[in-house]
Structure 1
């Protein structure tokens, strides 16, 4: 029986929009305390609003099959910061004058089964329909701790929390954070006004 990978393109498309950049310095932490519009609220696929609030949990699960083990996970966005400081300029990095670095703080917890996470499923979505993926690299002075950018196993009962960095237009703010995996429908969180 194979283990289900919940990574960037194959992570649990836990119906939530989130974005963040990270590196291989991921930290595993205890199960999160959920808080959002109502503290400790968890939202499942069946009852999920179209857009969640920061700190609101999205729960995703699969009963498993002959090829993959069953799993149950939660995902949430904890914060968004723009701009964030780094020694290298975001504008110079991709030759886009006016661009800045932004950081998304996210957390995914494995309730049951075996999962693998990465930053790939997270994107920032703008009102005009533009989407921004996490930065392809990390600088040492990016916000810490970083969320894994490569496949990282998360044991049952474990969580991974970290910051995902994006190279974004400085004069705009994303409307939502989108979390999309091959196993679930995309989910999104509303980004609060600055």
Structure 2
């Protein structure tokens, strides 16, 4: 019996210094190591951002797990560009799907028990004067403030997530803080 050569390509070698694009390319070639590195690099900030949008930790865990399963299955369709944005889009869609499958609607933030000072601050940010002031910012400035202040990302992580240079993140954060001071004065 004649055997045809395998179409499966060998995954390129990857390491901690590999770019996100290189890791996704290696995941497309079925590199488990690349998927682990991608997970280690992105799961913490994805969890933080998903948790800001959903109080149900099980739903967040399910969405995060489904995100990396989807990455494993669809890495070959990644066309390049902002890998962090691509991951965030997948994670957000998985969270919506996880919540749809849970039946009753999630408890609104006002009805949740406030378990920590951080929860109280986030509640006031969303529904207080600061939330109103944040909504008045341009989308570019608001995105930087959300990534660096509310989601707790470093400038480097925010740069990667937003697809803009680190210097631009710093400049926009400075401009946003100045506008917020004016709004809240």
Is TM-score (shorter-chain normalized) higher than 0.5? no
Name the TM tier (shorter chain): under 0.3
Return the structure number with greater helix share.
2
TM-score by length of 2: 0.24
Higher RCO (CA < 8 A, seq sep 6+): 1
Instruction: Report the structure number with the largest CA radius of gyration.
Output: 2
TM-score by length of 1: 0.23
